[in-house]
Structure 1
Amino acid sequence: MIADEIQARAYVAALPGVDAAALDRLDRLAALLIEENTRQNLVSAASLAQVWQRHIADSAQLLTYVSRETAGPWLDLGTGAGFPGLAVACLLPETELLMVESRARRIEWLTRAAESLGLENARVLGSRLELVETRTVRTISARAFAPLDRLLDLSARFSTPDTIWLLPKGRSARQELQELTGWDHMFHVEQSLTDADAGIIVGRVAGKTPKSKGKRK
């Protein structure tokens, strides 16, 4: 378990393919976040003292479930403050990263941060998810975006049976997965490395399950 900022930074630095340039981008992202948080409430002020643990390493751990070479296109739903979207874009600069966000001030922040960090691989889709043009992607992530059943209803159209879903869910992960019905899926819960009480729903979705027909009387 990652317990502090030193461990969080060391964890990210040790991930395959992470170089000095990636760590520099993440340092600059953290600085931009702290500055922007004085203007709008992107994240809780208390979490900024642990920005590497609470936000950067928390996002970076998702990379352990995908291959760097085949992770993209990556669709991040409800990116908000930029996690995991901006953090992943910093770590995978060759991967197309699409960030869906509908709130005007968050769209402006994400766009400005991506430009400042030189993230040519990152693009902000400034729209409600329902209005985003359908396309298929290799990875879908969402951090505290919507309940699992609602999330699948909204975004399964971007998925194929080979798409990896990475859904940090906090304490509700196991309960949401247990309550999920109507989907042919291969989901399981992984323990978060940054929060002992949190889980990440990981897996694939084949589609909706056929509705059973009632018996004739």
Structure 2
Amino acid sequence: MMQDEAAAKAWLANLDEADAVAMDRLGRLVAMLAEENKVQNLVSAASLDAVWLRHIVDSAQLLTHVSRETEEGAWLDLGTGAGFPGLVIAALCPNREVVMVESRARRIDWLNRVISALDLPKASVVGQRLELVESRTVSVISARAFAPLEKLIKLSARFSTSDTLWLLPKGRSAGQELAELKQTLRRGFRVEPSLTDAEAGLIVGHLNPKGVKL
């Protein structure tokens, strides 16, 4: 379990996707985040003291659950907010399409500025509420603290096939949220431990779209 910035950076250095160019992108993202946080509250000020652990590696760890079958294709990040995990995934995987959904105007502006500054042509922002986003199918769906699990699944099932990988950081509530999910939805999901927080979990797995009643 990583407990400080040095451990987080050491872990990241061993990630296949974290080459020198990607690390430079992430360093610039961290610097931009610190500056922008003075203007708008993107993340808690306290979390900036451990930004590599709390935001960068907390996002990058999702890549360890991506198999060869889902390492290509579009990645859809819902309610991306400050850009976690979406911007981190885009910085580490610049050749992959990463679509970030965010409805707040100032966040949209921030995300687009970072995409431009880090030269991420395959990353994009859909500036709408999720309910209004045009349906499509994607390879990966992620969402960090976006909505309660059942609501999230019902809102997002239209982007998923049975092959779509769901990666949902849920903090301390992961096990409870999954246990409370109806069995028809729960099947195919599991809780994996977070590498950055001993008490947090990630809900990982695949959805049977037939189990979702919209």
TM-score, normalising length from structure 1? 0.94
Which amino acid is 1:28 matched to? R
Separation of aligned partners in 1, 2:13 and 2:58 = 13
DSSP-derived class of the 2:73 partner: coil
Q: Which residue of 1 aligns with 2:196?
A: 194
Q: CA 1:26–1:7 in structure 2 vs 1: closer, same or farther (change >3 Å)?
A: same
Name the residue aligned to 2:116.
Answer: 115
Tell me the secondary structure at the aligned position of residue 137 of structure 2: coil
SS at structure 1 position matched to 2:208: strand
Q: CA deviation at 1:10?
A: 1.2
- Match in the other structure for 1:214: none
User: What residue number does 1:215 align with?
Assistant: none
- Larger mean CA deviation between 178-187 and 64-73 belongs to 64-73
Contact preservation (8 Å) 2:188, 2:206: yes
The 8 Å contact of residues 184 and 207 in structure 1, kept in 2 or not, is answered as: no
Residue 66 of structure 1: aligned partner: 66
Find the residue that maps to 2:168 and give its secondary structure: strand
Q: Aligned equivalents of 1:141 and 1:185: distance in 2? A: 18
CA deviation after TM superposition for structure 1 residue 207, in Å: 1.8
Equivalent residues in 2 for 1:146-185 (5 A)? 146-181=147-182, 182-183=184-185, 185=187
Asked which structure has the greater CA Rg, the reply is: 1
Once structures 1 and 2 are overlaid, which stretch shifts more, 65-74 or 120-129?
Answer: 65-74
Per the normalisation by structure 2, the TM-score is 0.95
Paired residues, what number? 211
1:20 is aligned to: 20
SS class of match (1:83): coil
Q: Give how far 1:184 is off.
A: 6.0
Contact 1:84 1:143 in 2 (8 A): yes
Structure 2: which 5+ runs fail to align?
A: none
CA separation of 1:51 and 1:184: change in aligned 2, threshold 3 A: closer
4+ aligned runs moved over 4 Å, structure 1: none
Distance 1:18 1:202 in 2: 22
Inter-partner Cα distance in structure 1 for 2:100 and 2:109: 12
Distance in 1 between residues matched to 2:17 and 2:41, nearest whole Å: 32
- Distance in 2 between residues matched to 1:185 and 1:130, nearest whole Å: 25
The SS at the match of 1:183 is: helix
Give, in angstroms, the shift of residue 210 of structure 1. Answer: 8.2
The alignment status of 1:206 with 2:194, answered yes or no, reads: no
Structure 1 residue 17: deviation in Å? Answer: 3.1
User: In 2, Cα distance between the equivalents of 1:209 and 1:134?
Assistant: 18
Deviations 1:103-147 (A, max 9, x none): 111001001111111111100000000000000000000000000
C-alpha distance in 2, partners of 1:143/1:101? Answer: 12
Query: What code does the residue aligned with 1:192 have?
Result: S
Q: Which runs of 5+ in 1 are unaligned?
A: 212-217
- Counterpart amino acid of 1:168? P
RMSD: 1.4
Q: Which amino acid aligns with 2:134?
A: E
Of all paired residues, the percent bearing the same amino acid is 64
